[in-house]
Amino acid sequence: MDRAASLRRLALLETALDRAFRLPLIGGIGLDSVIGLIPVVGDAVAALMGLVIVAEATRLGAPRWLQMRMLANLALDTGLGAVPLAGDLFDVFFKSNTANMKLLRAWIAKQDWPDVDASAPDWTPAPMRDVTPDRPQPSRSSITRRDSPARCRRTAPTG
């Protein structure tokens, strides 16, 4: 199980659902708010996409209390979001997927997983972050420039 890759996918999903677009005065909105404008079906689809985050947290071994809290956030978002007009406004300001990812990050920060750094904003795998490739640097003599002084010297005209 590649936890770091899974967490990166979840972070991308959360961004798409809750903060994909920036609007003046409102801030970020996502697909959750946009598809929630479609009565009943939009809220159901947004809830199913939000369930992916909860299901992945379960697969990662999140405790039951964390799963229940994440489901409560999602249920609140779905339930109040289903109310016409007022629910759409609620969807813009309450970001259940962002809240769930914050809960998941806090739980992961307490785990002793050597392959995941919960403090990394992009969930970079821990072993890869500090590795820099050893590339041989070209020697000074191998670097040639088209306009090097040796090629641009003018010779005095003969004659």
Instruction: Give me the tens of pLDDT residue by residue for the chain, a chain 159 residues long.
Output: 688 888 889 989 998 998 888 888 888 888 988 998 888 899 899 999 999 999 999 999 999 999 999 999 999 999 998 888 888 888 888 999 999 999 999 998 888 877 776 666 655 444 444 444 555 555 555 555 555 555 555 555 665
Under 8 Å between Cβ of 78 and 55: no
Residue with tokens 């979840």: 10
b/e string for 74-101 if b means 16 or more Cβ within 10 A?
beebbebbbeeeebbebbbebbbbbbbb
Task: Specify the pLDDT at position 151.
Answer: 53
The pTM of the full predicted model, rounded to 2 decimals, is: 0.71
Half-sphere exposure of 89 (CA within 13 A, CB side): 3
Terminal-to-terminal C-alpha distance of the chain: 79
- Every domain of the chain and the residues it spans: 3-128
Q: What pLDDT, on a 0 to 100 scale, did the predictor assign at position 111?
A: 86
Nearest to 114 by CA among 101, 128, 131, 100: 128
pLDDT at 2: 80
Contact 98, 14 (CB under 8 A): yes
